[in-house]
Amino acid sequence: MAHTYMVFEFPNEEKAQQARHKLEGWKQAFRLDKKLQVKFDRGDEAAAEPTEAAAEEESAEEPKKGSKSKTSAKGAKGSKSKESQKSASEAAKSSPVKLLVRLYFSTHEKMSEQQWLDRIPADELFKVAHPHVIHAKDAAFDETLKQFDSLE
């Protein structure tokens, strides 16, 4: 069976989620369960931000231990955690997101594979994302395969 990958670089999370929803609709409608798989690569920025938010929450808990008033400490903790959650979610929505699509058709389904290679990048949602098609013969194929397998 031949693998073909398509990499789309969306400007934000919202556009990537819309594209994923469109692909999931096609996947259901055309019964492409194992033939079309989708994964997100949010990059290192999205992975680093939740740890920063957790560090801020821990620092917000420190004044609570030393203070006598529980209500003031809870109020401070709640406001800081809400702010950190808002900033993390806003940054995640504004940061670029890669959408990796794997087409996995057998050799006798060449026409079906070609139809999907033509259809997906031609859709309005995907034109914005600067699609890259990577075939098994390409030099970047091994790297893309490892990247796709490492994502959840």
| Contact present, 91 and 45 (Cβ < 8 Å) | yes
**pLDDT value at residue 57:** 44
Pick from 152, 117, 123, 109: nearest CA to 135? 117
**pLDDT value at residue 58:** 44
Pick from 85, 18, 81: nearest CA to 49? 85
Query: Residue holding tokens 């073909």?
Result: 4
Q: What's the predicted TM-score (pTM) here?
A: 0.68
Q: Which of 5-14, 54-63, 117-126, 130-139 has the lowest mean pLDDT?
A: 54-63
Highest mean pLDDT: which of 56-65, 70-79, 93-102, 115-124? 115-124
pLDDT average, residue stretch 33-54 = 70
Which CATH number fits the domain 2-42+95-150, given the four candidates 2.160.10.10, 3.30.465.10, 3.30.70.600, 3.40.50.2300? Answer: 3.30.70.600
Confidence of residue 84 (pLDDT cuts 50, 70, 90): low
Pick from 39, 8, 41, 43: nearest CA to 104? 39
**pLDDT value at residue 6:** 97
pLDDT average, residue stretch 42-52 = 55
Give the DSSP per-residue string, 57-102: HHHHHHHHHH-S-HHHHHHHHHHHHHHHHHHHHHHHHHS-EEEEEE
Residue 22, amino acid: K
Confidence of residue 152 (pLDDT cuts 50, 70, 90): confident
In this structure, the dihedral spanned by the alpha carbons of residues 129, 131, 127 and 22, taken in order and rounded to 10 degrees, is -80
Domain positions in the chain: 2-42+95-150, 46-93
